């Protein structure tokens, strides 16, 4: 019983939630969700956790073909510690539970979560499986694992989206699409063996790596109008932060290694931290 519980908990891949949890946390703090009734806060976070658990677990359900070549990744369906039917049923249960809770915030939030649920499901699940469709893999991941995560707390606590929110949402879309490209590059060998046709499979490794570098260097321009719309003081601080990032990213020895994208991860954290301080 205890072993089975541990397996299902590992199936949720909680350690991999960090970046996406932080997007939800940013949206929560940005929308001042902490000022709302405790019940609303608890339900909001329960929905976030359930939908994250759904998204990661359903991905493992349909990734067995690729993951059997990925020796470093533990897929409990590949190791047969969880069956396909039980894994899928458990994953769907998590997603449906999150959807049921979202109805607490009204029809609009429920429909929003339903759209995110379906997008996350068909990202992994055949016959659509956006993950295996070049460029749609980046777009779908950018939406359900980026922009929509930020929009969710804004809609729950602010009730509406304005142009400023869309600018920030696009920056998260951009980052999430980049994260997907990074994942594809890291999994290029196993995806190729499994016959998964990702954007990297089409563009090939070196071109895809060059594209990722270009997107990283271009990212500050995505945040520039966000800070410009707030104040010149914070824009100046952002530009200093950006100059430091570009210096280390472009001139650090062996910067072409994917591992050195940790520099960008740090830059992103500090940039959005500054945005939280600067936001009205």
Quickly state the pLDDT bin for 259 (edges 50, 70, 90). Answer: low
Decide: helix, strand or coil at residue 269. Answer: helix
Model pLDDT, residue 162: 94
Residue with the larger pLDDT of the pair 159 and 44: 44
Q: Contact 61/77 with Cβ under 8 angstroms?
A: yes
Domain-wise residue ranges, the chain:
2-160
Least confident range from 26-30, 86-90, 185-189: namely 185-189
Return all residues near 17 (Cβ < 8 A) that are at least 6 apart. 52, 56
Start-end of H helices in the chain: 2-11, 18-30, 38-61, 64-67, 84-102, 107-124, 136-142, 148-158, 163-186, 188-194, 199-203, 205-228, 232-251, 262-278
Q: In the predicted model, what is the mean pLDDT of residues 49-63?
A: 95
The tens digit of pLDDT for each residue in 121-155 reads 999 999 999 999 999 999 999 999 999 999 999 99
DSSP string, 87-116: HHHHHHHHHHHHHHHHGGG-HHHHHHHHHH
CA dist 262 and 242 (Å) reads 15
pTM for the whole thing?
0.94
How many CB atoms sit inside 10 A of residue 5's CB?
Answer: 9
Q: In the predicted model, what is the mean pLDDT of residues 250-279?
A: 82
- DSSP 8-state code for residue 23: H
CA dist 145 and 149 (Å) reads 6
Residue 41: is its pLDDT beyond 80?
yes
* CATH top-level class of 2-160: mainly alpha
Quickly state the pLDDT bin for 258 (edges 50, 70, 90). Answer: low
**Which residue, among 161, 163, 196, 164, has the nearest Cα to 180 in the 3D structure?**
196
């Amino acid at each position: 019983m205890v072993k089975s519980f541990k397996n299902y908990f590992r199936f949720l891949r909680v350690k991999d939630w960090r970046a996406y949890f932080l997007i939800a946390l940013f949206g929560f703090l940005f929308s001042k969700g902490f000022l709302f009734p405790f019940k609303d806060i608890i339900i909001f976070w329960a929905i976030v956790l359930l939908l994250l658990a759904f998204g990661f677990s359903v991905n493992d359900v349909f990734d067995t073909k690729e993951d059997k070549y990925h020796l470093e990744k533990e897929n409990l369906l590949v190791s047969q510690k969880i069956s396909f039917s039980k894994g899928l049923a458990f994953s769907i249960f998590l997603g449906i539970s999150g959807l049921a809770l979202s109805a607490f915030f009204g029809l609009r939030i429920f429909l929003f979560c339903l759209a995110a649920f379906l997008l996350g499901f068909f990202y992994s699940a055949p016959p659509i499986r956006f993950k295996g469709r070049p460029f749609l893999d980046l777009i779908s991941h950018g939406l359900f694992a980026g922009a929509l995560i930020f929009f969710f707390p804004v809609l729950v606590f602010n009730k509406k989206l304005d142009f400023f929110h869309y600018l920030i949402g696009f920056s998260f879309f951009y980052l999430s699409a980049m994260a997907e490209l990074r994942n594809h590059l890291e999994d290029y060998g196993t995806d190729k063996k499994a016959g998964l046709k990702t954007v990297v499979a089409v563009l090939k490794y070196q071109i895809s790596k060059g594209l990722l570098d270009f997107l990283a260097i271009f990212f500050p321009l995505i945040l520039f109008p966000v800070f410009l719309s707030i104040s010149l003081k914070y824009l100046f601080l952002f530009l200093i932060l950006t100059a430091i990032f570009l210096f280390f990213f472009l001139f650090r020895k062996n910067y072409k290694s994917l591992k050195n994208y940790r520099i960008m991860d740090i830059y992103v954290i500090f940039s959005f931290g500054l945005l939280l301080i600067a936001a009205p």
